[in-house]
């Protein structure tokens, strides 16, 4: 069974690029433009193993709040955060969260995903 990755990114071009890289590596990908849609997907899909989220997004919660909600409700999900402007402190992120600074190299993202396999 393929690993399902949920990409949460409000910028369509960045989201499309991330989805393409992850799909090309052989993973199944779902996408959401904001945290609210991501939560809806998580509530309806029990097969999501990884959430890869931007930090700065419009809506009721940003990416940091989203991954805290995911860790609380779906503890086994692997969490990856990305941002080009905000660098959260390790203490501000749930345990075992991977942070990637934008622009991240495709190889950095794939290395994190390979560790999930």
Sole residue written with tokens 């989805």: 19
Q: What pLDDT is attached to residue 67?
A: 97
- pLDDT digits (tens), the chain, 117 positions: 789 999 999 999 999 999 999 999 999 999 999 999 999 999 999 999 999 999 999 889 999 999 999 999 999 999 999 999 988 999 999 999 999 999 999 999 999 999 887
> At a CB cut-off of 8 Å and minimum separation 6, what does 12 contact?
33
Fold of 4-114: Rossmann fold (3.40.50)
What ranges do the domains of the chain cover?
4-114
Q: 18 with 5: CB under 8 angstroms? A: no
DSSP 86: -
Q: What pLDDT is attached to residue 24?
A: 97
Q: What pLDDT is attached to residue 117?
A: 73
């Amino acid at each position: 069974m393929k690993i399902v990755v949920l990409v949460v990114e409000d910028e369509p071009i960045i989201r499309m690029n991330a989805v393409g890289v992850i799909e090309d590596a052989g993973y199944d990908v779902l996408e959401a433009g904001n945290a609210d849609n991501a939560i809806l997907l998580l509530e309806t899909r029990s097969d999501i193993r990884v959430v890869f989220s931007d930090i700065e997004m419009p809506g009721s919660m940003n990416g940091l709040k989203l991954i805290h909600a995911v860790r609380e409700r779906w503890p086994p999900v692997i969490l990856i955060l990305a941002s080009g402007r905000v660098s959260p402190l390790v203490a501000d992120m749930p345990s075992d969260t991977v942070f990637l600074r934008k622009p991240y190299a495709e190889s950095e993202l794939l290395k994190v995903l390979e560790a999930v396999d």
